[in-house]
C-alpha cells in the first residue's frame, strides 16, 4: 500500500456541496461541535514493539485499551450532514424526509486531539438547516485514516506504524444517537456531540483481505444506555 498523507488539521477550508436546501431567510445557521468523551487511553504507556491481538478479539476486554493506546492519529473526513425533523419520526418511510445541511464543503478532524471539555469543543461543520426541531442526526464520512504508534497484528494481519492506514466502513453514514436539537432562524444553533474513543476502537477488526474496519462512535447530548 502506498502511504497517503492526510493533513491532521481540525477544520479544512470548505468546498461547495449540493444539498436539499439553499442559503436564504428560510434557513437557520447550525454548528456541530464535537468533543471527546473520557481520557481515551492516555494512561497507557507504549514501548516500540508489535502488539498482537488474536482472531477472537471482539473489543470486550482489556485488550481494547492496549489497541487504543497504539492509535496516535484518527483523521475523519465528513462530506455531508443530515437531520430528521421531529414531525417525520413516526412516518412509514422517514428516510424520505431527512434534511441535508447546506455546507460550504467537507471537513477533516483528528478525533484523538479533541478536547474532553464540551465547552472547548471543535466546530466540525457549520451550515444551514430549515428552522424546527430535529430528532436524528447523521454524518456522511468519506474517509478515515488511522496512524499507529507501533505495529499492530490483528486477525493475522500486521499493520505498520508511522503512516496513515485507510480504514473501511460498512456504512458511510455515521448515526449519532441522542442528538435532539432545535434550529432557529434568528441565530446560530449549536449541537454538541461526543466522540467515544474506547467504544470506537473496541470495534476495530481486520477484514479477510487485510484492511482495518470500524465505525466511529459519536453520541449526542441526550444519549442514554437504553436509547436506540
pLDDT digits (tens, 9 = 90+) for 151-189: 998 888 999 999 999 999 989 999 999 999 999 988 899
Burial of 15 (0-12, 13-18, 19+ CB in 10 A): exposed
141, 50 contact by CB (below 8 A): no
> What's residue 24's pLDDT?
40
pLDDT tens across 114-164, in order? 999 777 899 999 999 999 999 999 999 999 999 999 999 888 899 999 999
Neighbours of 170 (CB within 10 A): 7
Local confidence band at 203 (pLDDT 50, 70, 90 cut-offs): confident
Top mean-pLDDT range of 44-58, 137-151, 201-215: 137-151
Residue 81 pLDDT greater than 80, yes or no: yes
Give mean pLDDT, residues 206-219: 92
Distance CA 143, CA 172 (A): 9
Buried b (16+ CB within 10 A) or exposed e, 43-68: eeeeeeeebebeeebebeeebbbbbb
Residue 22 pLDDT greater than 80, yes or no: no
Local confidence band at 10 (pLDDT 50, 70, 90 cut-offs): very low
Residue 215 pLDDT greater than 80, yes or no: yes
Residues whose CB is less than 8 angstroms from the CB of residue 217 and which lie 6 or more positions away in sequence, other chains included: 195, 196, 199, 200, 203
pLDDT tens across 54-76, in order? 433 344 444 445 678 889 999 99
> What's residue 19's pLDDT?
35
Local confidence band at 26 (pLDDT 50, 70, 90 cut-offs): low
Local confidence band at 41 (pLDDT 50, 70, 90 cut-offs): very low
> What's residue 68's pLDDT?
83
Residues whose CB is less than 8 angstroms from the CB of residue 89 and which lie 6 or more positions away in sequence, other chains included: 135, 136
Amino acid at each position: 500500500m502506498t502511504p497517503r498523507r492526510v493533513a491532521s488539521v481540525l477544520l479544512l477550508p470548505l468546498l461547495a456541496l449540493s444539498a436539499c436546501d439553499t442559503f436564504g431567510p428560510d434557513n437557520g445557521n447550525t454548528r456541530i461541535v464535537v468533543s471527546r468523551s473520557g481520557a481515551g487511553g492516555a494512561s497507557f504507556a507504549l514501548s516500540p514493539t508489535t502488539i498482537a491481538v488474536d482472531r477472537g478479539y471482539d473489543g470486550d476486554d482489556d485488550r481494547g485499551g492496549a489497541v487504543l493506546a497504539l492509535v496516535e492519529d484518527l483523521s475523519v473526513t465528513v462530506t455531508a450532514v443530515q437531520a430528521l425533523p421531529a414531525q417525520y419520526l413516526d412516518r412509514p418511510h422517514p428516510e424520505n424526509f431527512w434534511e441535508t445541511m447546506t455546507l460550504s464543503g467537507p471537513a477533516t478532524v483528528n478525533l484523538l486531539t479533541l478536547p474532553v471539555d464540551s465547552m472547548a469543543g471543535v466546530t466540525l461543520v457549520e451550515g444551514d438547516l430549515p428552522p424546527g426541531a430535529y430528532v436524528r442526526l447523521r454524518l456522511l464520512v468519506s474517509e478515515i485514516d488511522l496512524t499507529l504508534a507501533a505495529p499492530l497484528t490483528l486477525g493475522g494481519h500486521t499493520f505498520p506504524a508511522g503512516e496513515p492506514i485507510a480504514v473501511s466502513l460498512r456504512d458511510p453514514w455515521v448515526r449519532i444517537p441522542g442528538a435532539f436539537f432545535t434550529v432557529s432562524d434568528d441565530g446560530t444553533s449549536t449541537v454538541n456531540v461526543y466522540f467515544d474513543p474506547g467504544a470506537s476502537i473496541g470495534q476495530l477488526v481486520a477484514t479477510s483481505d487485510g484492511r482495518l474496519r470500524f465505525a466511529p462512535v459519536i453520541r449526542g447530548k441526550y444519549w442514554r444506555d437504553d436509547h436506540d
